[in-house]
Amino acid sequence: MNVDIRPYDQTAPGEGATLYGVFFEAARIGARDHYTEGQRKAWAPFDEMPNGWADKLAQMQTWVAEVDGEIAGFMGMRTENHPDGYLDLAFVRPRWMGRGVAQALYGIILERARARGLTRLTTHASHLARPFFARQGWRVDYPETVERDGETLERFAMSLDLRDFHDKTNQP
């Protein structure tokens, strides 16, 4: 399987809506073993792309993964107004989970973070995403709960010290 990674194209018709669909499927279907139906509906409350979604994607470095011409996932990193890189969005369609899509996206995020001279990355990971990030060397800084539409969702503040990671990967 070949995973092609490219930047998000805000000018492409329907691209923002397609990425919202990836998010929606990942939250509503992919996370079903980790969150209740009510929690998943609160996390992804809209069936269709809400106003501002495409602009949010354009305001960060957003990378799109395609497999056989289908958009399979995306990740977005914020660097403006963040002393560290903040991995804001990381979603893969359920049918592509566990097949290398997240790993390919993560590789470009890591490459771009290093190219910008970032020394640390942070994120808020769901129960679904936490094991993936842990396998990449991220650590849980603390668990937290957030409230969305009357539902409480547990997530994890996580970080990766790129200096430590770089040192570990370059050891003989």
> pLDDT of 81-99, one tens digit each?
767 899 999 999 999 999 9
Domain range list for the chain: 3-169
Distance CA 16, CA 10 (A): 7
- Cα–chain center distance at 40: 16
pLDDT at 66 over 60: yes
Is 133 exposed, middle or buried, given 0-12, 13-18 or 19+ CB atoms closer than 10 A? buried
Q: How many C-alpha atoms does 2 have within 13 Å on its Cβ side?
A: 3
Tens of pLDDT, residues 13-27: 999 999 999 999 999
Q: Return the minimum-mean-pLDDT range out of 15-24, 29-38, 63-72, 159-168.
A: 159-168
| pLDDT (0 to 100) of residue 165 | 55
Give per-residue pLDDT as tens, 94-132.
999 999 999 999 999 999 999 888 999 999 999 999 999
**What is the rounded average pLDDT for all residues in the chain?**
91
Residue 169: pLDDT band by 50, 70, 90 thresholds? very low
As a whole number, mean pLDDT of residues 66-70 equals 94
- What pLDDT score does 138 carry? 96
Distances from the Cα of 153 to the Cαs of 20, 28, 56, in angstroms? 20, 13, 22
pLDDT bracket for residue 163 (50, 70, 90): confident
Domain 3-169, CATH: 3.40.630.30
Please give the Cα distance from 70 to 65 (Å, whole number): 8
The pLDDT, as a whole number, for residue 80 is 79
Residues belonging to the chain: 172
Question: Strand 85-92 to strand 120-125: parallel, antiparallel, or no bridges (unpaired)?
Answer: parallel
Residue 172: predicted pLDDT: 39
